[in-house]
Each structure stands twice: as structure tokens, then as C-alpha cells.
Chain A
Amino acid sequence: MVSLRKTVGMGGGSSDKLGSVEGGTVDQFPAGLRVLVVDDDRACLKVLQQMLRKCLYHVTICSQAMDALSLLRERKARFDVVISDVHMPDMDGFKLLELVGLEMDLPVIMMSGDGRTSAVMKGIKHGACDYLIKPVRMEELKNIWQHVVRKNWNDSKDQEYSGSLEETDRQKRGNDDVEHASSANEVTESNWRSQKKKELCRDEEEDGELDNDEPSASKKPRVVWSVELHQQFVSAVNQLGIDQAVPKRILELMNVPGLTRENVASHLQKFRLYLKRMHHGDPHNSYCGPPNSYCGPPSSYCSPIENNHTSKLNSNPPGRLDYQSLAAASGQIQIQIPSQNLATALQAELLGRPPSCNNSSMVRSALEHPNLLQNSMPGGGPKFIPIEHGHHSGDPFNQPSLVKCSSNMSKPLFTQGNINLDSIVSSGYSDCWSSNNFGTDCPASSLSALNNVVPNSNNVIIAQQQQVQNPCVIIPSQSAATYPVPINIPASMNQNSFGRGNCGSTIIDYNTLLSSRTSNNASALCVGQMSDGNFKSSGLLNIGYGSMSGPNIDNNSSSSSSWKICNSGMNINSNHFGSIMGSDMSRGDPEKMLQHGRRNLGFVGGKGGGTCIPTRFAIDDDIDPLAPIDNMNDHQRNMMMMMMGDNSNSIPNNIKQEMDQLELLKSEDPSRGGNPVGNAPPHFPSNDYLSVISN
């Protein structure tokens, strides 16, 4: 048995023995870690190189960010971790960080002489898995292997719930060593990784299993996103439309053997983040160009919503979206979307065309949980989220109902319908969500139609659902228009019956979602958690059905699903919502799904026993669903409102509290490459949070 400490030779001039040679390479862990260092400061580069060599790592140095990128792209499989300076003349370190994360999915450690909290925060926000302050000491470099291991493990865990899990994975799940990143697949890869994983898994014990090729449950060779692969990914995404691009579909389009949905899902997440950031800087700067891809502010789709703007809705192509009429009927039209936009978006969606706007993510997310709807309709009635009429009345609150998950948050599951719900959502589609009346208007027939569809599309839905990270996340896309939003989010996230006008769900029932998995809890990031049986026909559902019940339903189960998701977003049945991404929903293990989703989402794990906040949730810089409601812009709040379908006129303090807490969780989320947006200083009273959540 060799302790890890012994394996690394440190100290000046001394070459520590790599422990005994009994286990061969195992003893050398974490020796052999392949590090790429990027810094324009040559003296610093040299020092780092020497230090890393002393750590027995394989070091490659690079003084130009562009060179580093080329290196990474060429020899993509050749590095385990990248250390990069923040300030570089040819490229901002953060940009490099994002690109590396996006294309190569490698852990990136940032370095800087600037040790201010804000600078470190920025690094974390951009996804750095660590932030070193110069001058860097050897001790800090010694432990960088942890980031590689952690990432691999997390990736493996994601894989575990993948629908494409192989048998071996299943077997392994039964083992105690489940969750361990298997090195089985990597036997042919760097020994280093195998060694370290095995070593870590085995508690540093050498045993026969070291050479055992039995894959562990979460075996997952890290996918290296080569330029080609990434290009394939990008074309697939463009083909689908950024808003419609769900991992499953992307995977299908890419048609790359060995690539799993999880791989795609996590890559998509990063991609969205990247796009979002690009969008930040330049609304027209879209990563992949196509007009349908994520680009541009959706503000065009959103306009202040006024109550009862049915007229506008009605102006939408008739029949296209019955929801409109439903919404109109509800009298609580919350969201006012330029009808044209809405219509266009909906049309695009229904026709399977790429979304014309990037707001669809939110809608998508809502629609992505057909399961929810399905499940929620035990009584034959879809669970709608009745948006409380009260608080919408007269409020500009009527913002897009669906919280538009930030691009990196939602993974549209629409594989078929390609309903550009984004536009719908952002365009104040909330109509369908809101209003109690709406619920009543929900034509049972449409629902049943949807119901019928649901079973068929179950798998699809599930799969899609899995993809949706935050179906209910009320995260207005950054492009969402702003609306004054007095969001009234019901505090309780649990099993409130989703009575009319009582959403009974809180937007941030992460804890519940993630941990409780009660049928009443949205297990996923569902923003609103609706009691499972009490969905009133929400506008959304109606809409979904309304629109879906047409020919599209059969053809676009996804879209139907999505509609359902909208509702189901409100009423998330944990069974359905278990998996956020790529997990095999059909397995129907809410717990696993939750975990999977949690993992996928880079939840802040472990806090408060599962009060995980999907990092996606937190990723959106502009829109922080977890931020206190009053910090949101109107649009965001409206979306939240819609999602929440709450029934009060103001945001309950407890909700705000929750949101604050979620904010905190978010900011503390170290996972997922550190995407959490720590917009607010942590102030998370975990106890309160949990208590609120588990109300």
C-alpha cells in the first residue's frame, strides 16, 4: 500500500522515490498527470514547469494562449489539466478557460497575481476549477490532481444514469465501488488516470482489481471534444436550433459511436454557457452562427404584458396555438408577447423548424416534461399550474410565463416538435401558464389527446425531460425582456395541492426537488413544484394541448411533452423529474434521476442534505433565478411567476428567503466547473433554507 503522499517526489533537488514498486504505476499516483501551463510570463512559466516536474507531472508550457489552444486541439487526449494565467496579451484567460472547457472538457485552473475576492469569483464563475494566486507555491501545484479526479468522477457519475449505460455499468452499480470513475475504459489511456482512480477507489490498496478491466458503474472515458467532434456537435445544434437542441437529438445527429447522451448533455451545457457569455459581449456574436441558434436578445419577443391581452394572443395564427385562446379565455393573460413573434415561434416549434428566437429555451424547458404532465394527470386532467390571477392582475408581471432557462440551463428536449417555445415563453407566453380560468378552460380532450401521446412518447419525454435541466427553472434568459414582476412564489414547495390559483409550489424547491422526491415535489429543477394530482389545467397545459392536440401531437411528442412539461414544470412529479439530463428516465428511479440530474446540473451537492441547485440554474449571469425576486427584472419575475403559478400578489418572504438561499447555494456550487453564479454574497442559512424548502 502506498500512500499518495509518498508517490509524489517533492522538494528541491530531491527525487523522492516513488514508493515501492509493488503496484507498479499505481504507486506513482498522481505522477504522470499531464499538465499544460499557459502564461505569457516566461519566468513564471519556467518556475511552474519546474515545480510541476518536481510533482512528477508531465508538463508542457506555452506562452501564447492561441498556441495552447492549438496544442490542446491537436493533442486533445494528451492533457489532463490546464493551468492558465488570467492576464495574457493575446487572449483573455477566461476566454481560454471557457474554450477549453467547451471543446476539451478539461479542468482549468486559473492563475493570477490578483488575489482579490472579486477576481477569484470571476474565475469560478467562468468555470475554473481552481484559482491560484501568484506566486504559486509548490504545495498548491501538488494537489491539482484533485481537480482531474473530481471531474472524472463527476463525469462518471453522470454516466451512471445515462440511458446508454452499459451492462457493466449496471453491474457495477451494485458494487460498493459504485460512483468510482472507472478506469476500465481507460486502461488503454493514460495509465495515470487508471492508476489514480483505482488507487483512490481502492483506498490505496493494491489488489487484483487494479488490473481488472471490469468497468465500474460509472466508467466513462472522458470524451475529448476534438475540433471535429465539436464541429459535429455544433452542426447538430444548429440543425436542431440552439433552442431545440436536446442532447438526445444532438447525439443522434452527430452519430458518433461511443458518444453518450451525457457527454453531449454536459457539452451542451458548456456550449450554452459559452454562447451566453458571447452573447453578453455581443448580441450578434453567436458561436455557431445560424440565425436560429442562440443569439440575440429575446427582448423582441417580449413586451410588457398587460392583462387580458387576449387580443394579441388571438392575433396569433389561429389554430396554431390554442393556448392562446385558452390564455385569452383565462382572462389572466400574463404575458404579452408580440403576437407575431409568438406566432412565429410557435409555428416554428410546431412545424419543427428551428426556433426563430432564442427564447425558446424557457418554453422548451417547460415543455420538456411531458412526463410531468402525464403523471400529473391521474385524474385525467393535466396538472396545470394555475397562475394566480390575483397577482397578475394589472401587473406587468405578465411576463413570459416560462422561465426561460438560460441557454445553458435548459436543454430543450424537443427533438421532434422543435417548438420554439422560447419565443413563446419569452413572449409572454405565460398566458398559458397563468390564470386559474385557464385551467378550467383546458379542454379535456386536448389533454387526453396529449395523454395519449404521452405514453408513446414517454421515453422520448423522459429522455427529453432528462435533458431539461431546469424545466421549471424560472430563469429568464438574459435576453428576456424585463417586466415588472411581482412574483408571488408560494413558499411551500411540497405537496400543496395545486389548487386553482394556488400553485403550491415554490420556484426554488430545489431541496425538495432534489432530495425529497416525493411525488409532489418536482424532483428536477422544476421551478414550481406542483402537487401531483392537483394541477389545474393551467394555461400552459392547455396551450400545450391546444396546440399539440393537433396533428403535431403525434408527430411531435416532444412538443407535446414540452407543453406538458410546462405544466409539469409546475407540477413536477418526482418520478418524472428525476433525471435532469440524460439519465434513463425509464428506469424510473426518482432517486437516481435526481442524483443524476443533480450531477448533471452540477448541483451544489450535499448542502443541507441535498439542497442542490443546478448549476445551470445558476449559470445565467443575467438572470439569476435564485436571486431575490426583486432583483430580477420584470421579465424574469414574470417568468418565475408563471412557472410558479402562484396565487398571491407578492412574493412571500419565505420565497425570497429561499431564493436567497438558493442564491447562496448557487454561489457555493463548486461543481460543474464552477459555473455557479455567485451573484450574491453567500448568506445562506442552510437551516432556513431546508426548512423552507421542505415545508
Chain B
Amino acid sequence: MEYSRRQLNNIKANLFEQGYLDDQFHQIEELQDDASPNFLQEVVTLFFRDTTRLIDTTEQALKKSPQDFRRLDSIMHQFKGSSSSIGALRVKNECSIFRDHCNQGNIEGCLKSFQKVKKELAILRQKLEAYFKLLNQSESVAVKKADR
């Protein structure tokens, strides 16, 4: 447990240091309490669900021709807002870049940026899933221990 606890903290610290997460994530962590013991994971889960949907929407919009930059920008605005809500810093930044390209009507830039958004999202998902897995394991172990 101790090890996993330390491991957990390391993973988390790592995520922050590398800019995957920002302080908003801390805020959300702190919101978790006894009444909402899984708050953090629930929020993150919602985030990935919503962003998956947004990814699809964006892809659809990107395929259209001529491109509807306003719509793309609008979708990314949502994306960005969502990312900022949970502290997904890198994803958020990529969204901003995407929007810049939108504003310039730079479809190529948009496409590239979109790839990055997807990539960052995937990386974050992977890392957070690992984090939560470990978290849940350590918690369940702790519970077991307490039960003894």
C-alpha cells in the first residue's frame, strides 16, 4: 500500500510536471469527499465521454467541404472548455491552437492540430486510467486491511 501510494503520488506528480494536468485537477480532487467518494473519476469519465463525442463531431465537420470554420471553432470552444474544467492542460492547449487555425481559415493547420488534440487526449486517457486503476487498487487494499 505504501508503495502504491507513493507510486500514485509519483504518477500524479508526473502528470503535472509534464503539463498533462493543471491545477484545476487539484481542485477537482479536493472536491471529492465522503459524500462523493468517486467524484474525481466520475468527472474524468464524463470528460472522456463528452470529448469522444466531440472528436466525432469534429471529424464530421472537418470532412465537409467547404469547411465550416465557425462550426469547427464552436466545437473546439466546447472542447476547450471541457478540458479546462478538469485541468487537461495539454488537450486544452491543442484546442486553442486548433482554434487559431480556424480563425485563419487554415484547414491544414486545423487538421494537424486536430491530430494533436486526439493524441493528447489519448495519452491523457491512458495515464489517468492507469492512475485510477492504481488508486482503486490501493483503496481496495486499504479497505481490505481495514476489514481485518
Are the CB atoms of B74 and A87 closer together than 8 Å?
yes
- A134-B46 in contact given A13-B32, A50-B39 (Cβ < 8 Å): no
Q: Which residues of B contact A683 (CB under 8 A)?
A: none
Are the CB atoms of B31 and A51 closer together than 8 Å?
yes
Residue of B nearest to A114 (CB): B77
B34 interfacial by beta-carbon distance below 8 Å: yes
Interface residues on A, range: 20 to 34
B16 interfacial by beta-carbon distance below 8 Å: no
Complex alpha-carbon distance, A246 and B81, angstroms: 43
- Most chain A beta-carbon neighbours within 10 Å: one of B30, B42, B80, B85: B85
Residue of A nearest to B44 (CB): A43
Are the CB atoms of B33 and A42 closer together than 8 Å?
no
- Most chain B beta-carbon neighbours within 10 Å: one of A43, A54, A112, A113: A43
Are the CB atoms of A41 and B81 closer together than 8 Å?
yes
B50 interfacial by beta-carbon distance below 8 Å: yes
Complex alpha-carbon distance, A68 and B46, angstroms: 20
A135 interfacial by beta-carbon distance below 8 Å: yes
Q: How far is the CB of B39 from chain A (nearest CB, A)?
A: 6
Which residues of B from 60 to 83 have beta carbons under 8 Å from A? 74, 77-78, 80-82
Are the CB atoms of B50 and A43 closer together than 8 Å?
yes
Q: Which residues of A contact B24 (CB under 8 A)?
A: 135
- A41-B50 in contact given A50-B31, A87-B77, A113-B81 (Cβ < 8 Å): yes
Are the CB atoms of B33 and A13 closer together than 8 Å?
yes
Are the CB atoms of A43 and B47 closer together than 8 Å?
yes
- A46-B46 in contact given A112-B81, A113-B81 (Cβ < 8 Å): yes
Q: How far is the CB of A679 from chain B (nearest CB, A)?
A: 25
Q: Which residues of A contact B46 (CB under 8 A)?
A: 42-43, 46
Q: Which residues of B contact A80 (CB under 8 A)?
A: none
- Most chain B beta-carbon neighbours within 10 Å: one of A50, A87, A134: A50
A 123-162 binary contact with B (CB < 8 Å = 1; else 0): 0000000000011011000000000000000000000000
SS class, residues of chain B in contact with chain A: helix
Taking a contact as CB atoms closer than 8 A, the residue among A12, A15, A87 that contacts B32 in the complex is: A12
Q: How far is the CB of B31 from chain A (nearest CB, A)?
A: 4
- Most chain A beta-carbon neighbours within 10 Å: one of B31, B46, B74, B86: B31
Complex alpha-carbon distance, A537 and B43, angstroms: 71
Q: How far is the CB of A58 from chain B (nearest CB, A)?
A: 14
Complex alpha-carbon distance, A87 and B99, angstroms: 15
A388 interfacial by beta-carbon distance below 8 Å: no
B27 interfacial by beta-carbon distance below 8 Å: yes
B84 interfacial by beta-carbon distance below 8 Å: yes
Are the CB atoms of B86 and A43 closer together than 8 Å?
yes
Q: How far is the CB of B16 from chain A (nearest CB, A)?
A: 16
Q: How far is the CB of A134 from chain B (nearest CB, A)?
A: 5
B 79-96 binary contact with A (CB < 8 Å = 1; else 0): 011101111000000000
New A-B contacts (10) at CB < 8 Å, excluding given A47-B43, A87-B74 = A12-B30, A14-B33, A41-B50, A43-B43, A43-B82, A46-B42, A87-B81, A135-B84, A135-B87, A138-B27
B residues with a Cβ closer than 8 A to A are 24, 27-36, 39, 42-44, 46-47, 49-50, 74, 77-78, 80-82, 84-87
